[in-house]
Amino acid sequence: MSLIDDLLNGRMKLHELERHLPADEAVRVRREFIERVSGASLRHIANYSIDMERASARNIENPVGVIQIPLGVAGPLKIKGEHADGSYYVPLATSEGALVASVNRGCSVITASGGATVRVTGDCMTRAPVIKTGSVAEALELRKWIQDNIEALREEAESTTRHGKLLRIDPIIVVGSYVYPRFVYSTGDSMGMNMVTIATEKALELLTEKTGAHVIALSGNVCVDKKPSALNLVEGRGKSLVAEVTVPGETVERVLKATPESIVEVNTAKNLVGSAAAGNMGFNAHYANIIGAIFLATGQDEAHIVEGSLGVTLAEERDGDLYFSVSLPDVPLATVGGGTGLETASECLDIMGVRGSGKVHEFAEIVGGAVLAGELSLMGALAAGHLARAHRDLGRG
């Protein structure tokens, strides 16, 4: 009797295969089982070069193969940052025709204008539990206890990690008898969600021991993780980034086929007024496009794309030139850990020279510059009336 028969007859679970087989063989058996029950052919999913044993241990459960997404590069993109200083090619994984071409055009405009100035304006990762007390009076007492015992809580939290530092616990939101303390950490080169979760759990052990408070959940959604949030828009989370460029009026007309005034008008009407009218939290054209393509290429947590879509685009006419900037307050990034260790992700990080420790701020500044390039190009296309034509010519083949 084969293992596939055991799976078909319910004598074995998919996740149990690794107990009996090496990782690659378990993947093959699981894939053949899925082919049997679905009738689908998975010959493309079966072709991969990553180390599935490593991936099975760290990144995926019940693996059957890999998904392939086309990968392009945009650049060179000149960055003038505190950490990234030079010209970079940016890997973008996407199936949306015209996206890489658009970012590439933005890179050309920025490079021809002397480069993008980019800064990391904030760097933190958060975890906010929800704690139940008996009344609002008790809730306020607990808030005061947390404020008075921040050093003891910090010592407990930091005992779990070599790299994480508890920066503050703020805000501490009281809703009725519920308390939501937002633990804010620095996490080095890792994105840090696992790190801050473990650290916060340890700090809460001290809190419950000393106060008797009831922790309902380690995450109370004030973190705010993997959701659009006004709190993250204002306070920041992950890497907070600002990128700017001043494009000569002649370059705007020659390359973007628009004028500084027309791009300013489109940005005001679309990104500012239109976003406000719709109640958007992202006052921008398409940050998520570039963030998503970079995240998929470099092994970031794709659920954080929703956070990276937050931010504000500004455009001003200055003495006949175009000042253009993007502000991204919430971009969780890593150059170590998680999916960055997958072979294809590591290679994409290597394209930019940002794989490994000590590189995350350089990577962040490149990401900010790439978003600036994509946003600038799209706004130029809208101002020139070229958006539909670009998608017709490039998106439809």
Q: What tens digit of pLDDT does each residue of 69-122 get?
A: 999 999 999 999 999 999 999 999 999 999 999 999 999 999 999 999 999 999
Instruction: Evaluate whether 12 touches 3 at the Cβ level (below 8 Å).
Output: yes
What pLDDT, on a 0 to 100 scale, did the predictor assign at position 390? 56
Residue 85 bears catalytic tag: no
Burial 355-388 (b: 16+ CB within 10 A, else e): beeebbbbbbbbbbbbbbbbbbbbbbbbbbebbe
What pLDDT, on a 0 to 100 scale, did the predictor assign at position 235? 96
Residues 6+ apart with CB under 8 A from 5: none
Q: Which of 24, 25, 141, 391 is catalytic?
A: 391
CA 94: distance to chain centroid?
Answer: 15
Angstrom distance (rounded) from CA 85 to CA 247: 19
Q: What tens digit of pLDDT does each residue of 346-397 get?
A: 999 999 999 999 999 999 999 999 999 999 999 999 999 876 565 566 665 5
What secondary structure does DSSP assign to 82-136, as a single string?
Answer: SS-EEEEEEEEE---TTHHHHHHHHHHHHHHTT-EEEEEEEEEEEE--EEE-SSH
What secondary structure does DSSP assign to 269-300, as a single string?
Answer: IIIIIIHHHHT-SEESS-HHHHHHHHHHHHT-
Q: Which of 301, 321, 362, 365 is catalytic?
A: 301
Angstrom distance (rounded) from CA 132 to CA 127: 17
Angstrom distance (rounded) from CA 162 to CA 66: 33
What pLDDT, on a 0 to 100 scale, did the predictor assign at position 394? 65
Residue 155 bears catalytic tag: no
Place of tokens 């709190």: 231
272 backbone dihedrals φ, ψ, rounded to 5°: -95, -65
What pLDDT, on a 0 to 100 scale, did the predictor assign at position 166? 97
Mean pLDDT split into 10-residue runs, the chain, 397 residues: 86 91 94 96 96 93 96 98 98 96 98 98 98 97 98 97 94 97 95 95 97 96 96 96 98 96 97 97 96 98 97 98 98 96 98 97 98 98 77 61
Instruction: Evaluate whether 220 touches 132 at the Cβ level (below 8 Å).
Output: no
Residue 70: Cβ within 10 Å count: 11
Angstrom distance (rounded) from CA 102 to CA 105: 5
Exposure of 11 by Cβ count < 10 A (0-12 exposed, 13-18 middle, 19+ buried)? exposed
131, β-bridge pairs: 179, 215
Output the CA–CA distances (angstroms, integers) from residue 246 to 115, 249, 376, in the order listed.
9, 9, 11
What pLDDT, on a 0 to 100 scale, did the predictor assign at position 146? 98
Q: Which of 25, 51, 96, 343 is catalytic?
A: 96
- Return the closest-CA partner of residue 238 out of 154, 364, 339, 119: 364
Instruction: Evaluate whether 70 touches 272 at the Cβ level (below 8 Å).
Output: no
323, β-bridge pairs: 246, 316
Residue 24 bears catalytic tag: no
What pLDDT, on a 0 to 100 scale, did the predictor assign at position 40? 97
Instruction: Evaluate whether 287 touches 309 at the Cβ level (below 8 Å).
Output: yes
What pLDDT, on a 0 to 100 scale, did the predictor assign at position 393? 66
What pLDDT, on a 0 to 100 scale, did the predictor assign at position 100? 98
CA 142: distance to chain centroid?
Answer: 33
Task: Tell me the torsion sign for CA atoms 367, 368, 373, 377.
Answer: positive
How many CA atoms does the CB half-sphere of 235 hold within 13 Å? 20
Token pair belonging to 218: 């380690």
Percent above pLDDT 90 for the chain? 92
Place of tokens 């005992």: 159
